[in-house]
Amino acid sequence: MARSVKKGPHVDEKLIAKIRKAEATGSRTVIKTWSRRSTVTPEAVGYTFAVHNGRKFIPVYVTEDMVGHKFGEFSPTRTFYSHAGDRKTKLKKR
């Protein structure tokens, strides 16, 4: 069931504070977070977050199309193994 619109998106206070601090100082350092349940807000766009997956921190660069999703969606908790085959990887632009 979807979250009530009345409440607005949930973002952990500590994470908001880290984003605001990075904004204020203009720093582009990686923001470490354990808060997988927090929603990606427009303020987070352009920053790189290290989102914990239970074992390590997965670096996630936030872009506009990720707004509204949860941070945890971008930090897989299961090890992914696959044949390389014709798989492609693309460098994301800023």
**Contacts with another protein, residue ranges (CB under 8 A):** 27-32, 48, 50, 56-63, 66, 69, 73-76, 80, 82-94
Report, in Å, the least distance between residue 60 CB and another protein.
5
4 versus 76: smaller Cβ distance to another protein: 76
- Closest of 26, 14, 62 to residue 41, by C-alpha: 62
5 versus 49: smaller Cβ distance to another protein: 49
Report, in Å, the least distance between residue 29 CB and another protein.
4
Beta-carbon contacts of residue 39 (< 8 Å; ≥ 6 apart): 9, 10, 11, 68, 69, 70, 71
- Closest of 59, 63, 58, 49 to residue 19, by C-alpha: 49
Report, in Å, the least distance between residue 76 CB and another protein.
6
